[in-house]
C-alpha cells in the first residue's frame, strides 16, 4: 500500500493541483484533489502525474522486435521505461507459418504479463498501399486461415488491421467481431464508400490515419475522410513530426476531438537506438537522422518514437487533459481495456511521473515502481 502526492495530477481526466492517490497491490484504492489525507509515501511537488500510456500499435524498440520471441521482453521493457504501461504488440505481414509462430509467442507473453494483447497489422492488406510490408506475402482473408490464427492467439488477439476492399473482407470483419477482436482499417486503397460500408459492418479504428491510404481528394475523398468523420471510429495518429505534418495533427484533434484520437508510436526495433540498418519483419529498414525508411526507398517504415515524446507533442497542441486522453483513455477504450487508461479508484495502478518539461522521471505499473529516476 502506498500514498502518492504530486503538484499536478490528472485524476479521472481532470487536472488537479495538487492531487493524491493511494494504491494497494495492483490497484488504485483512493484518490482526490488537494493535499493528501496524511503524509505521502512518495511526494512529487514539482512533477505531473498522469496515467500510464497505452500504445495500441507498436512493433518493437530498444533494438528488439515483437516478431522475435527472444526480443519481446526487451522491447516491452524499453517502452515501459518511457511510460508505456500497456502495450498491444503489433505483427507485420508474414507467411502463414511465420504468422502463426509470431502469434503463439506473443500470446504466451500476454499470459506472462508484459503485454496486454496482440495487434495483427496484416497480412490482409492492400498491395497498392503496402508501405513497409512485404507485398509478396499479402493475401486475401480466408476463413480457414483466420480461424487458425484466432485459435493460435487463444484470446490474446485484440485488434486486426485489414483492407476492406479485399475479396472476403466483409466476412472477415464479421468473423473477427464475433471473436471479440477490434477491426481497424488501414493499408487500404478503398474508396470512401467502401470504407463507409466496413464501418457500418463494425470496423471502429483507423490505422495510422493518412498513412498507407489514398490522400484526401475533393472528388475522391477515400478512406481517410470516412474514418475521420464517423463518431464510431477512433483514429490513430503518429505525431512524430514525420508521418503527418504538425498542423494535420492539430486539425485532426480539432475535428475529431481527443476522445476519438489515439496516439500510437508504430515504433520499430530502432526506437531508442542509433541510426543504422534494422528489420521490420522480412523488410530491411534504414534509419537515418532518426527516420526509418524501407531500404533504398523513401517509404517510411514505422517510427523511432516513444509515447512520452508523443505526449509532449500533443500536450503542446491540445493541453494536458487532452494529451492524457489521447495517450491513455482513448486507446484503452478503443481496444476494450477497461482496467487501464485513467487514474481512478478500482483501476490498475499504472502511472507516469513527469518533470516540468514533461520528461519521464518514474513509472509505476500495476502498483510496482518499475522505473524510478
Q: Is 243 annotated as a binding residue?
A: yes
Q: Is 187 annotated as a binding residue?
A: yes
Q: Is 132 annotated as a binding residue?
A: yes
Q: Is 350 annotated as a binding residue?
A: no
Q: Is 121 annotated as a binding residue?
A: yes
Check 55, 230, 240, 266 and give the catalytic one.
266
Q: Reply yes or no on whether 68 is catalytic.
A: no
The three-state (H, E, C) secondary structure of the chain, written as one string = CEEEEEEEEEECCEEECCEEEEEECCEEEEEEECCCCCCCCEEEEEEEEEECEEEEEECEECCEECCCHHHHHHHHHHHHHCCEEEEEEEECCCCHHHHHHHHHHHHHHHHHCCCCEEEEECCCCCHHHCCCCCHHHCCCCCHHHHHHHHHHHCCCEEEEEECCCCCCHHHHHHHHHHCCCEEEECCCCCCHHHHHHHHHHCCCEECCCCCCCCCCCCCCCHHHHHHHHCCCCEEEECCCCCCCCHHHHHHHHHHHCCCCEEECCCECCCCCCCCEEEEECCEEEEEECCEEEECCCCCECCECCCHHHHHHHHHHHHCHHHHHHHHHHHHHHHCCCCCCCCCCCCCECCEEEECCCCCEEEEEECCEEEEEC
Q: Is 212 annotated as a binding residue?
A: yes
Active site residues: 266
- What are the binding residues? 121, 132, 187, 208, 211-212, 219, 243, 300-302
Binding site listing for substrate: 132, 211-212, 219, 243, 300-302
Q: Indicate the annotated binding residues for Zn(2+).
A: 121, 187, 208
Amino acid at each position: 500500500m502506498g500514498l502518492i502526492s504530486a503538484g499536478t495530477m490528472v485524476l479521472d481526466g481532470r487536472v488537479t493541483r495538487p492531487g493524491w492517490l493511494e494504491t494497494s497491490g495492483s490497484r488504485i484504492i483512493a484518490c482526490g484533489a488537494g493535499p493528501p489525507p496524511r503524509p505521502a509515501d512518495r511526494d512529487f511537488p514539482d512533477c505531473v502525474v498522469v496515467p500510464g500510456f497505452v500504445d495500441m500499435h507498436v512493433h518493437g524498440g530498444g533494438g528488439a522486435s515483437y516478431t522475435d520471441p527472444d526480443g519481446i521482453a526487451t522491447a516491452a521493457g524499453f517502452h515501459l521505461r518511457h511510460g508505456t504501461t500497456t502495450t498491444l504488440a503489433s505483427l507485420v505481414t508474414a507467411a502463414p507459418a511465420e504468422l502463426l509462430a509470431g502469434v503463439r509467442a506473443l500470446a504466451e507473453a500476454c499470459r506472462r504479463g508484459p503485454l496486454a494483447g496482440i495487434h495483427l497489422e496484416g497480412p490482409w492488406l492492400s498491395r497498392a498501399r503496402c508501405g513497409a510490408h512485404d507485398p509478396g506475402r499479402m493475401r486475401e482473408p480466408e476463413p480457414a486461415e483466420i480461424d487458425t490464427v484466432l485459435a493460435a492467439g487463444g484470446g490474446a488477439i485484440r485488434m486486426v488491421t485489414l483492407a476492406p476492399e479485399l475479396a472476403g473482407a466483409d466476412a472477415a470483419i464479421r468473423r473477427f467481431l464475433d471473436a471479440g477482436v477490434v477491426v481497424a482499417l488501414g493499408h487500404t486503397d478503398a474508396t470512401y464508400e467502401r470504407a463507409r460500408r466496413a464501418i457500418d459492418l463494425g470496423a471502429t479504428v483507423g490505422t495510422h490515419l493518412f498513412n498507407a491510404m489514398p490522400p484526401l481528394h475533393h472528388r475522391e475523398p477515400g478512406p481517410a475522410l470516412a474514418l475521420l468523420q464517423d463518431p464510431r471510429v477512433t483514429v490513430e495518429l503518429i505525431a512524430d513530426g514525420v508521418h503527418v505534418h504538425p498542423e494535420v495533427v492539430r486539425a485532426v484533434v480539432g475535428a475529431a476531438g481527443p476522445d476519438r484520437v489515439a496516439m500510437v508510436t508504430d515504433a520499430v526495433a530502432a526506437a531508442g537506438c542509433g541510426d543504422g540498418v534494422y528489420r521490420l519483419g522480412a523488410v530491411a529498414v534504414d534509419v537515418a537522422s532518426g527516420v526509418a525508411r524501407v531500404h533504398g526507398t523513401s517509404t517510411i517504415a514505422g517510427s523511432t518514437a516513444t509515447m512520452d515524446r508523443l505526449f509532449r507533442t500533443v500536450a503542446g497542441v491540445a493541453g494536458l487533459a487532452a494529451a492524457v486522453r489521447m495517450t491513455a483513455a482513448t486507446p484503452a477504450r478503443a481496444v476494450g481495456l477497461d482496467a487501464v487508461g485513467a487514474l481512478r479508484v478500482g483501476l490498475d495502478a499504472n502511472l507516469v511521473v513527469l518533470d516540468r518539461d514533461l520528461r519521464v522521471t518514474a513509472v509505476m505499473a500495476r502498483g510496482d515502481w518499475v522505473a524510478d529516476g
